[in-house]
Amino acid sequence: QSPSRRLIPQDLNHILDISPSVVILGDLNSKHTAWGCRKTNPNGTRLYSFTSDHPVHVYAPDEYTYFPKRFDHQPDILDICLLHNISRPIHQQVITEMDSDHLPVILTFRRRPFLTKGLPKLTHNLVDWNIFKYHLDQNLKYTPNLYTAEGINRAVENLTSSIHKSARIANNNAIRKSVNLQLPIFIQNLIQEKHRTRRLWQRTKQLIYKHELNQLTHRVKWEIDNYRISTYRRYISDLEPNDPTMWRAVKRIDNKKSSIPPLKINNTAYCSDFEKCEALGSYLENVLTTNIKLTNAAFTDLTEQTVNQ
């Protein structure tokens, strides 16, 4: 839609009457801070009012889709998506292609929410920390020259490499089993709505979004707890005495978790939280002290002169 044209709600009603489920995509030139735009224009106000009175949800990408060629204009989100009677979660990806001031947006319908990969982890499986400690002591080489940038960089590289090698060796082949709870579609949609509201709150800092985010957070938690309880009840009701799964369930319930072992320092065991805190405090107090033997007077004088200049 042209920026000079006024958004007419009747036109949207005609489009929604075409089919029970409708998807509207494109540059509507309807800016509103509710879906992440820098500011709100009259068309954005009309669209926001329309969606408040009709079962229509507005979804916008997390990135700017419009990059004006004029220097006195700022990038903004113009290409949005309107969904009517569609409950599937969607994912929008902005791609930097085409020689235009508008970037194309790929809209994907998914049965499950789009999950991005997390940060890489040092360990993935169970770890034998005794093996880790042993190999770290073997691989870690002490570097006495810490007075130059090259020496410090070499020491940092040596420490990082030693930790990575020790962690790879100490990784156990036993994979920790995790229960993958398949959530219903309506709970997945609530989670996506909560994430969208959080992004709006982080961008705009408007209290209305903070209030909405708190409500969605409590509702998502309540729905997930109820779903887990009902799922567990169905699991219990389906158990039969002649089925081996019953005995596995009983064994899992009766299996008590082991308590945290005592902290041992110099063949002395510390059991209570207070004793552990005192022992760690004394140990760190003795370790984190200035090493007088490594003091370099010339390096200290050079550092003070550089700082004073």
Q: What are the tens digits of pLDDT across the range 246-279?
A: 777 777 777 666 667 888 877 888 888 888 888 8
For residue 177, name the pLDDT band (cuts at 50, 70, 90).
Answer: very low
Residue 67 clears pLDDT 70, i.e. is over it: yes
Do β-strands 22-27 and 56-59 pair in parallel, antiparallel, or remain unpaired? unpaired
Cβ-based neighbours of 23, under 8 Å, separated by 6 or more? 81, 82, 83, 84, 86, 107
Instruction: Answer for the pair 66, 74: CB distance below 8 angstroms, yes or no.
Output: no
| Domain extents in the chain | 9-109, 129-173, 185-254, 257-292
pLDDT tops 60 at residue 181: no
pLDDT value at position 240?
74
**Over the range 295-306, which residues count as b (16 or more CB within 10 Å of their CB) and which as e?**
eeeeeeeeeeee
The arithmetic mean of pLDDT across residues 6-21, rounded, is: 88
User: Does position 157 have pLDDT exceeding 70, yes or no?
Assistant: yes
CATH topology of domain 9-109: Deoxyribonuclease I; Chain A (3.60.10)
Cα dihedral angle (106, 112, 116, 119), rounded to 10 degrees? -170
Q: The dihedral of CA 71, 73, 76, 82: what is its sign?
A: negative
- Residue-level pLDDT at 175: 42
Joined tokens for residue 143: 């570097």
